[in-house]
Amino acid sequence: MKTVEILITGRVQKVGFRACVRRIATDLNITGTVMNLSNGHVQIFATADPMILEKFISMLYGCPRAIIRDLRTTDTLPRSFEEFSIIKNGSRISTLL
């Protein structure tokens, strides 16, 4: 298992991007978090098999209404998450929404 941090810039806030990210991650059995940053970017932490993470990253470009200008991936120390959650204003939104 591998954990990556993904920082995304572009038109990725207020277009349903986080929900799309969560849907893709859940479909691929990836755990982690996604949240909007105050600078207009989106930050994702994702944990899964490296091949699954590559597929996940490529699928992010298919989120409707979002326009990804730049996507930067950084390996981080492995992290364990119970599920894939949206973090909104410091609190998690369940994947069951």
Enzyme catalytic residues:
18, 36
Q: Where are any strands of DSSP class E within 1-97?
A: 2-11, 31-36, 42-48, 67-76, 84-88, 91-93
Pairwise CA distance, residues 49 & 86, whole Å? 21
| 88 bridge partner residues | 91
